[in-house]
Amino acid sequence: MVAKSRSPDSNLTIGFDLCLRKCISEEPLRCLIEDEALTIQNLNSLCDTAQNYFTELSEDLLYIYS
């Protein structure tokens, strides 16, 4: 099950980048430091690239990145 975050003034869900920024900056939600957020953002970019067939990513390399 995936939890969806909604903007308070809209019915739309917030994107991954905004969600990550909230996890670094907003005090009640703060659960990551900037280095952790950067790592998660890099992994998300690698996943997007692999899903769109721009690159092949071995499980070993993904493990190293994570």
pLDDT of residue 33: 93
Six token digits for residue 5: 């975050």
Amino acid type, 43: L
43, 2, 5, 35 alpha-carbon torsion, rounded to 10°: -20
Six token digits for residue 13: 């869900």
Model-wide pTM > 0.95 = no
Sign of torsion over alpha carbons 64, 31, 41, 25: negative
pLDDT of residue 4: 58
Give me the average pLDDT of each 10-residue run along the chain (66 residues): 62 84 88 92 82 74 76
